[in-house]
Amino acid sequence: MSSHAPDDSSKAESDRAAGREGQADAYGALGLIISGVLVWGGVGFLVAERLDNRLFVMLGLLLGMGAGLYLVWFRYGRQT
């Protein structure tokens, strides 16, 4: 006889699915932050090369980080 009730296996599967969902959310948040830094850092680099002023690289990186964090907050932090 099995010591596991039928509900135990469905609960375990539900727990695994919730863990995978949380992991997917974490990778999604990381991807948003990295892509924001890369895109806006790249824009800042192009502007800096055009104007011959390295300040725009730093501004682009900071803008990208801020935009990425805002998108993470908007997508994952406002869930009710």
Q: How far apart are CA 57 and CA 41, in angstroms?
A: 6
Q: Give the CA distances from residue 47 to residues 50, 57, 63, in Å, rounded to whole numbers and listed in that order.
A: 5, 8, 14
Q: Are 54 and 48 in contact (CB under 8 A)?
A: yes
The DSSP call for residue 77 is I
Q: What is the pLDDT of residue 67?
A: 95
Half-sphere exposure of 77 (CA within 13 A, CB side): 8
Tell me the pLDDT tens digit for each residue of 35-65: 999 999 999 999 999 999 999 999 999 999 9
Q: What is the pTM of this model?
A: 0.69
> Which of 25 and 2 is assigned the larger pLDDT?
25
Q: Where are the domains of the chain?
A: 28-80
In the structure, how many helices (H) and strands (E) does the chain have? 2, 0
